[in-house]
């Protein structure tokens, strides 16, 4: 496995791979890898000759009051896990390497960014799109792998790739969960022991909510069921519970084929997100 | 020469060329070709195995009161000129082909876009960056060729490529002029006979202004010299005369190595632009 820390070294290697006609599967991450990331790698390995992983905690997607400084980092551990999982190349630049200039040109996410996490994280998805554009240009992947846990990010990245004609195929990878149903996340390590015991209620509540929706088609009642179950059974505070058309992230309507039921819950030191995406087509 | 009108056909051909390891020189145009464009093709031919030209009048870069509908178009003539000049592939999509979706994600040009033409054309450079991003993704060029006549466009595209790590080299090509000094432009055909006789004053005024600046370093006096010479000797109305650091497009200062002296002049049915870029380094 090779590790590159400069854009020039990474790009030179990519140019060679392109000349050799290799397919490149790309797994962008912020590091502190868990089985969710390894699942992305596994999918990428199956479909590509070369797997590139980026490990970069992207300052552009953190707000001024968010957890950029305390976001967990452990490159040595990540590199071992990535190598074991079959990653061929890690791209691990510094913030200075990624953002040496600012000529003031911005990418602004649209209405999709105003729902769900975007409502409480202004500018977050602008920063995501900025780094994704740069990474796609540096890595020139054939396919890029995104987890469905960040359903809003996935929907926005798919829209970006479609509307700006990036020559890359976006592949959706299902959420990986712990045995008790908690969605894998780098941030889970910052739950207290008690919070960790409470956390399975999130997925249980979403499952109950989806059952409610598929039975009643009642959006408000569904949201109430999910929020009440989480608040009554944990110390978590609801940031949002939303049920939306996927991937437009607009209110579900009679043409909706897939619904996203998503929540974000604040615990003492960490905010967790989870979701279920379900087909609403009549069989 | 091949002509492709769909992104899929164009992209399939580009994928073959990439597999064959061919270098691709790209000349983006809005058609109605003149010798300025052919000069771009000539530079592209010298440095690349394949030359791709796009011919697309991009609605996204025209304001609601601008000349999108009346912008001159003649694809048959363009195709013949391009083939004679050595273009291998023309990409000639419709507006519907280029913009079938709008998920609302925008690219917004920065302070560079607020000077010069940008001041009177809000959103123009946002539209330029949108189509350039799409075309670069579809064509995957090794090098792309831009005329120095659109000096502001060139400066903004160079900033975009640098800040977003597009894997393409931007090549600057000098302005091509008629025998009497008028800069070649697709819009020149819309000058009246009298206006066409007056038009050489623009470059004469810029040349006199640059002489003034190199002698006196007096920005205000330089601008006055240029504006007065044009207004006293033609029916044209000045949109702007500006002297700025190039390529930052900010006011020139002691660190400035290149200055741009640029003007835009309104005639009855058309607005012409011209400029001179000059090194200010002491020899």
The interface pTM score, or ipTM, of the predicted complex is: 0.90
Coil/strand/helix, residue B274: strand
Query: Which residues make beta-bridge pairs with B276?
Result: B261
How far apart are the CA of A262 and the nearest CA of chain B, in angstroms? 21
Q: How many residues does chain B have?
A: 283
Cα separation, B236 vs A7, in Å, equals: 48
Distance of CA A274 to the CA centre of its chain: 11
Interface residue A164 vs chain B (CB under 8 A): yes
Nearest chain A residue to B7 by CA distance is A165
Binding-site annotation, residues of A for (R)-pantoate: 61, 153
CB–CB contact A164 B134 (8 Å): yes
CA distance A22 to chain B (A): 9
All residues of chain A having their beta carbon less than 8 Å from the beta carbon of residue B11 are: 167
Q: Which of B18, B104, B111 sits opposite A111 (nearest CB)?
A: B104
Question: What residues does A106 pair with on adjacent strands?
Answer: B108
Closest CA to A148 of A34, A40, A281: A40
3-state secondary structure B137-150: HHHCCCEEEEECCC
User: B163 vs A101: CB contact, 8 Å cut-off?
Assistant: yes
For residue B92, indicate whether it is catalytic: no
| Pair type for strands A258-266 and B89-91 | unpaired
SS3 B4: strand
Which chain A residues contact residue B134 at CB under 8 A?
164-165
Q: Do A2-173 and A186-275 have matching folds?
A: no
Q: What residue has token string 């990409």?
A: B91
pLDDT at B281: 67
**C-alpha distance from B152 to closest chain A C-alpha (Å):** 13
- Hey, what are B208's tokens? 């006199």
- Mutate: best of B7, B49, B103, B245, partner A, most A CBs <10 A: B103
Inter-chain contact A167–B137, Cβ cutoff 8 Å? yes
DSSP code of residue B60: G
Residue A119 has a pLDDT of 85
CA distance linking residue B140 with residue A166, whole number of Å? 10
Which chain B residues are Cβ-neighbours of A133 within 8 angstroms? Answer: 164-165
B167 close to A (CB below 8 A): yes
Q: Which residues of A are catalytic?
A: 37
Residue A67: the pLDDT is 84
Q: How far is CA B110 from CA A97, A200, B23, B155, B249, in A?
A: 21, 46, 31, 11, 11
pLDDT tens-digit profile, chain A (283 residues)? 999 999 999 999 999 999 999 999 999 999 999 989 999 999 999 999 999 999 999 999 999 888 899 888 999 999 999 999 999 999 999 999 999 988 999 999 999 999 888 888 899 999 999 999 999 999 999 999 999 999 999 999 999 999 999 999 999 999 999 999 999 988 899 999 999 999 999 999 999 999 999 999 999 999 999 999 999 999 999 999 999 999 889 999 888 999 999 999 999 999 999 999 999 865 4
Domain assignments of chain A as residue spans, ordered by start = 2-173, 186-275
CATH superfamily of B2-173: HUPs (3.40.50.620)
Pairing verdict, β A271-279 and A258-266: antiparallel
For the domain spanning A186-275, the CATH number is 3.30.1300.10
Q: For B78-100, how does the pLDDT look when each residue is reduced to its tens digit (9 = 90+)?
A: 999 999 999 999 999 999 999 99
Task: Give every CB contact of residue B188 below 8 A, 6+ residues apart in sequence.
Answer: B34, B182, B196, B199, B270, B272
Between vectors from CA A41 to CA A36 and to CA A45, what angle results, nearest 5°?
Answer: 150
Does residue B121 contact residue B149 with C-beta atoms inside 8 Å? no
Q: Looking at CA atoms only, how far is residue B59 from chain A in angstroms?
A: 15
Q: How far apart are CA A222 and CA B242, in angstroms?
A: 60
Which residue numbers in chain B have pLDDT < 50? 283
Residue from the list A18, A104, A159 with its beta carbon closest to the beta carbon of B110: A104
Task: Give the CA-trace dihedral at B79, B85, B91, B96, to 10 degrees.
Answer: -50
Asked if residue B37 belongs to a known ligand binding site, the reply is yes
Task: Identify the CATH number of the domain defined by range B186-273.
Answer: 3.30.1300.10
| DSSP character string of chain A | -EEE-SHHHHHHHHHHHHHTT--EEEEEE-SS--HHHHHHHHHHHHH-SEEEEEE---GGGS-TTSSTTTS---HHHHHHHHHHHT--EEE---HHHH-S-----EEE--GGGGSHHHHHSTTHHHHHHHHHHHHHHHH--SEEEEETTSHHHHHHHHHHHHHTT-S-EEEEEPPPB-TTSPBP-GGGGGS-HHHHHHTTHHHHHHHHHHHHHHHH--HHHHHHHHHHHHHHHSS-EEEEEEEEETTT-SPP-TT--EEEEEEEEE-SS-EEEEEEEEE----
B69, B78 contact by CB (below 8 A): no
According to the model, what pLDDT value does residue B283 have?
A: 47
Nearest CB partner across the interface for A21, out of B19, B108, B129: B19
- Cα-Cα-Cα-Cα torsion B58, B110, B154, A18, nearest 10 degrees, comes to -80
Contacts of B160 in chain A (CB under 8 A): 103, 105
Distance CA A133, CA A107 (A): 9
């Amino acid at each position: 496995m090779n590790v590159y820390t400069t854009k020039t070294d990474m790009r030179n290697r990519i140019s060679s791979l392109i000349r050799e006609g290799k397919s490149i599967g790309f797994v962008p991450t912020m590091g502190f890898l868990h089985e969710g990331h390894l699942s992305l790698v596994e999918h990428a390995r199956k479909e590509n000759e070369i797997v590139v992983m980026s490990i970069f905690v992207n300052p552009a997607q953190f707000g001024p009051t968010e957890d950029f400084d305390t976001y967990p980092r452990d490159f040595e551990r990540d590199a071992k896990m990535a190598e074991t999982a079959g990653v061929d190349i890690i791209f691990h630049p510094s913030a200075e390497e990624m953002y040496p200039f600012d000529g003031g040109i911005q990418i602004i996410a649209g209405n999709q960014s105003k729902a769900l996490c975007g409502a409480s994280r202004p500018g977050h998805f602008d920063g995501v799109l900025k780094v994704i554009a740069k990474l796609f240009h540096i890595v020139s992947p054939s396919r890029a792998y995104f987890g469905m846990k960040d359903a809003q990010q996935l929907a926005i990245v798919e829209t970006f790739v479609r509307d700006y004609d990036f020559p890359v195929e976006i592949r959706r990878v299902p959420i990986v969960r712990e045995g008790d149903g908690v969605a894998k996340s780098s941030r889970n390590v910052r739950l207290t022991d008690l919070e960790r015991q409470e956390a399975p209620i999130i997925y249980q509540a979403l499952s109950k909510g989806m059952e409610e929706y598929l039975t009643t088609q009642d959006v408000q009642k569904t949201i109430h069921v999910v929020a009440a179950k989480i608040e009554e059974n944990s110390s978590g505070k609801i940031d949002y519970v939303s049920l939306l058309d996927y991937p437009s992230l607009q209110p579900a309507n009679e043409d909706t084929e897939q619904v996203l039921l998503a929540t974000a819950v604040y615990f003492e030191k960490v905010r967790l997100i989870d979701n279920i995406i379900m087909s609403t087509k009549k069989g």
